[in-house]
Amino acid sequence: MLPWLLAALTLAAAALTAPALGSHLYDVFDDRPNPAWDRWITPFETTLLRWIGETGRSAESVASYLQPLLLSNLLCGAVALALLLAQPGWLNTRGFTGLRWDLALHTTISFLTNTDQQHLIPEQSLGNLAQLGAMQFLMFVSAASGLAVGFAVIRGFSGRPIGNFYRDLLRSLTRVLIPASVLLALFFLVSGVPMTLAPPLQITTLEGASQWLPRGPIALFEAIKQLGENGGGFLSANSAHPYENPTLLTNLVSTWAMLIIPAATLDAFGRFIGNRRQSNQLLALVFGLLLLGVTVAMAAEQAGNPLLTSWVSGGNLQGKELRFGPALTGFWSVVTTGTMTGAVNGSIDAAMPLTILTALFNLFLQVVFGGQGTGAAYLLVFALLAVFLTGLMVGRTPEFLGRKVEKAQVVWASLILLIHPLFVLIPAALTLAAGAGVNGITNPGSHGISQVVYEYASAAANNGSGLEGLIDGTRWWNLTTSLSLLGGRYLPIAALLALAEGFRRKPALEPSPGTLRTDTALFTGVTAVVLVILGALTFFPVLALGPIAEALTLAS
């Protein structure tokens, strides 16, 4: 009972705190004056913008928003890649050498795309300089880029100019991510998370063996990992490690931190369009989907493997951190896959098939809050498609947020629908066909399929978690997932911006009784169904052959 209560409490805390942060995000991204912040931060921001020669004027076209995004991301990626390849001696007390090129490339792309899929063991391959200068640096950049895109899209949908990328990036950092991360880091610090540049501690275990205890500047790393929906661990065990997630409280606060910014983004969307009823309906939809997944996963983990219940009691304990137990680990798994964080506090590979099914489902939908900034944008796209498909049934050209949904919108939205099949199903099929020498699959049958599909889905959805039994540090995996990472990040961003920019240029219409209202429970229900059908129907065959077949086999 207790885990259910704690899970409910965490979700409620996220739901209740979202409006406060949402109001702040609205101030930040709609350029509303906020004397307390402006007094200290504006001079700094202005200086920085002037230094790079930016006026901060809104982009007139998609290209003029997209170009600086790609350019700055490329530049940041290049710096990080260089650091990973070289790994100079400074702050590198254990003298790690540079990473193999494909691993360095994959790691850079993975962190740059807000995914943080890790094909390496950080504490055995990265020094503090790489952790801070490459990993943590990219965590901030990618989260801020995501937020910037998310709000550019929201601006477009609300009829405003899409904004200026540099300004958005900067304000995401100075007014949202950095202050929030510092506050959360302080909390982690107090809870016992290390924040040090000291070398690993060598201790003698009770058995008399000598062991290295890796430590580092983890508290801040941990904060941006959760808040920015990054998910990459300072340590390989990620949030299952006591240095990253020391107490039950940090465990719950971490789940809250994954949810809060995306939930607040949706809330801010309502403020942007001046219709909080609409955003509350969307929030209810997403919370509903999340709750559904949480219930399935928690129940499955708590029930445990039916073939083992006669030997083991207390649910599915395999791959779990016993401090948190099966149910709360199931809860975390759903939140982390839904929000595209990808941090883990237990092994998803060892989870029940239904938990894996829920996780995969989240990865395919990408809107159960979804990525930083982009999740809200995807949700708007699905709402737009729902309007287009069902809106015809009221006998008018469908309208969404007071603008007509016509060919251009459908083209961009459809393109977004195509990304996942392209970057998940095709490489997964190639990998499965490639044979054991290449694919690194460590499980026979359905679970093997799940491992492969999950890895690509996690990459394309920019999540980063994995069924980590997979031997994925190979050149094949590094390079193919890099493609999925890039395709799953930048193509949708371009399509989203194009969609939003085209949308805002359409004439705004006054609602009439003949207009289909989208802020009603009925329409929200319709959106949910469209979401499930369009987002998941495509993947039903692989889900059936993977986790569903596994679950049915276990049950029979």
Residues that bind another protein (CB under 8 A): 385, 388-397, 405-407, 409-411, 413-415, 417-418, 421-422, 425-426, 428-430, 432-433, 445-446, 448-449, 453, 507-510, 512-517, 520, 522-523, 526, 529, 533-534, 537-542, 544-545, 548-549, 552-553, 555-556
Cα 554 versus chain centre, distance: 30
Q: CA-to-CA distance for 276 and 120, rounded, in angstroms?
A: 44
CB of 393 to another protein, least distance (A): 4
For residue 149, give Cα distances in angstroms to 60, 157, 250, 307, 404.
15, 12, 30, 47, 22
DSSP symbol at 234? S
Structure-token pair, residue 275: 């219709």
| CB-nearer residue toward another protein: 306 or 541 | 541
- 341 DSSP β-pair partners: none
CB of 363 to another protein, least distance (A): 16
| CB-nearer residue toward another protein: 33 or 444 | 444
CB of 288 to another protein, least distance (A): 18
Work out whether the CA dihedral 180, 181, 184, 185 comes out positive or negative. Answer: negative
Q: CA-to-CA distance for 371 and 540, rounded, in angstroms?
A: 22
Q: CA-to-CA distance for 457 and 447, rounded, in angstroms?
A: 15
| CB-nearer residue toward another protein: 36 or 433 | 433
CB of 280 to another protein, least distance (A): 18
| CB-nearer residue toward another protein: 432 or 483 | 432
Instruction: Please list, in sequence order, all residues whose beta carbon lies within 8 angstroms of the beta carbon of residue 398, skipping any fewer than 6 positions away.
Output: 387, 388, 390, 391, 392, 404, 405, 516
Q: CA-to-CA distance for 195 and 20, rounded, in angstroms?
A: 29
| CB-nearer residue toward another protein: 258 or 383 | 383
CB of 549 to another protein, least distance (A): 5
63: exposed, middle or buried (Cβ count in 10 Å: 0-12, 13-18, 19+) = middle
CA-based nearest residue to 454, from 444, 465, 443: 465
| CB-nearer residue toward another protein: 30 or 406 | 406
Q: CA-to-CA distance for 275 and 96, rounded, in angstroms?
A: 54
The amino acid that residue 46 corresponds to is: T
Q: Is 164 within 8 Å of 58 (Cβ atoms)?
A: yes
436: exposed, middle or buried (Cβ count in 10 Å: 0-12, 13-18, 19+) = exposed
| CB-nearer residue toward another protein: 154 or 384 | 384
CB of 108 to another protein, least distance (A): 28
CB of 334 to another protein, least distance (A): 23
Q: CA-to-CA distance for 342 and 332, rounded, in angstroms?
A: 10
CB of 398 to another protein, least distance (A): 8
Q: CA-to-CA distance for 414 and 381, rounded, in angstroms?
A: 9
CB of 286 to another protein, least distance (A): 21
CB of 451 to another protein, least distance (A): 10
| CB-nearer residue toward another protein: 95 or 437 | 437
| CB-nearer residue toward another protein: 249 or 537 | 537
Give the N- to C-terminal CA distance of the chain in Å, as an integer. Answer: 28
| CB-nearer residue toward another protein: 91 or 422 | 422
| CB-nearer residue toward another protein: 59 or 386 | 386
CB of 195 to another protein, least distance (A): 45
CA-based nearest residue to 280, from 12, 8, 18: 18
Q: CA-to-CA distance for 157 and 500, rounded, in angstroms?
A: 6
CB of 461 to another protein, least distance (A): 16
| CB-nearer residue toward another protein: 68 or 398 | 398
CA-based nearest residue to 156, from 266, 259, 273, 77: 273
CA-based nearest residue to 334, from 10, 1, 2: 10
